[in-house]
Structure 1
Amino acid sequence: MTIHLDHTIVPSRHKVASAKLLAELLGVPWSATGVGPFAPVFVNEGLTLDFKDTDEDFPVYHFCFRVSQQEFDAILARIQAAGISYRSTVRGPDDMRVSDFMGGSGIYWNQPDGHQWEMLTVSYARP
């Protein structure tokens, strides 16, 4: 059997607003009500991000999406239209620039809930 990550829980202060925003930015479906206490974002046919409200402190998680250049351009346009700040480096100021690391395109942003989201067209984690 091949192992696939099916879903993960994303802690949130406002699960519905956070799930809605991320789904709209990525251009993927979501639901205000999922199984149990979750607001799921259906990233693709095999991965769901289940946003869950919590009042507890939580760390900033990092999520990275590898997309085609065409998808990158469309998602970046939605991020820009939403007025969300982004940057070309993992840390540092929001410079509103696109990285060309590894010959591809990449950005980072921290909405919703302060989590760090990354989008790239060429993975540096895998050959």
Structure 2
Amino acid sequence: MSVLNHQIVWSRDAETSAHFLADVLGFEPPVKLGHFVMVQVSPDVTFDFMSTDRDIMAQHYAFLVSEAEFDVIMARVLERGLEYWADPQHQDAGNINRLDDGRGVYFNDPSGHELEIITRPYGSGGLDAEHVNPLLTEEIAASGKLPDLS
């Protein structure tokens, strides 16, 4: 079985971006290794930030967090005065979504990468959730059945 080991994250300033991620999400401080500034985001995975002057295509990184972690991270987002949205299209500014009866929010890092924190995996609330994830209803409409998310 293969396991993701690391993700290179292109940044305008690797140090700034790595420290931003570690500080806001509460990870251990970054470690410099050669031209990378690495943040351990799970026991098996690091985000290896690398500075570049090239154009950066913004990426999306979603983190599953506990309810308590969500509160701590949101406090840091608010403390820093960061813009945040309830949706990935950045249409619902200053709000938190309740999809799957959890909480989710999006905000950007210093290089424009979109970070998402969620307290419930997509679709985990099923059709019985008070706040059904619209992706489920789109899937049912397209296929006629609920997807297997296990």
Question: Identity, % of aligned pairs?
Answer: 36
- Counterpart pick for 2:94 among 93, 96, 106: 96
Instruction: Point out the structure with max Rg over C-alpha.
Output: 2
Deviation string, structure 1 residues 10-49 (Cα, Å, up to 9, x no partner): 0000110111111000111132512x21011111221110
Q: 1:85·1:94 contact (CA, 8 Å) conserved in 2?
A: no
TM-score (norm 1): 0.91
Q: Does 1:12 align with 2:11?
A: yes
How does 1:35-46 map onto structure 2 within 5 Å?
Answer: 36-46=34-44
Deviation for aligned residue 1:94: 5.7
- TM-score, normalising length: structure 2: 0.78
Distance 1:59 1:97 in 2: 25
Deviations 1:41-74 (A, max 9, x none): 1112211100000111121101000111111111
Greater relative contact order (Cα < 8 A, sep 6+): 1
- When the two structures are aligned, how many residues end up with a matched partner? 125
Task: Decide which structure has greater helix share.
Answer: 2
Q: Distance in 2 between matches of 1:31 and 1:103?
A: 33
Q: Would the aligned equivalents of 2:22 and 2:30 in 1 still touch at CA under 8 Å? A: no
Say whether residues 1:78 and 2:76 are aligned partners: yes
Secondary structure class of the residue paired with 2:41: strand
Residue 26 of structure 1 corresponds to which residue in structure 2? 25
Does 1:55 pair with 2:53?
Answer: yes
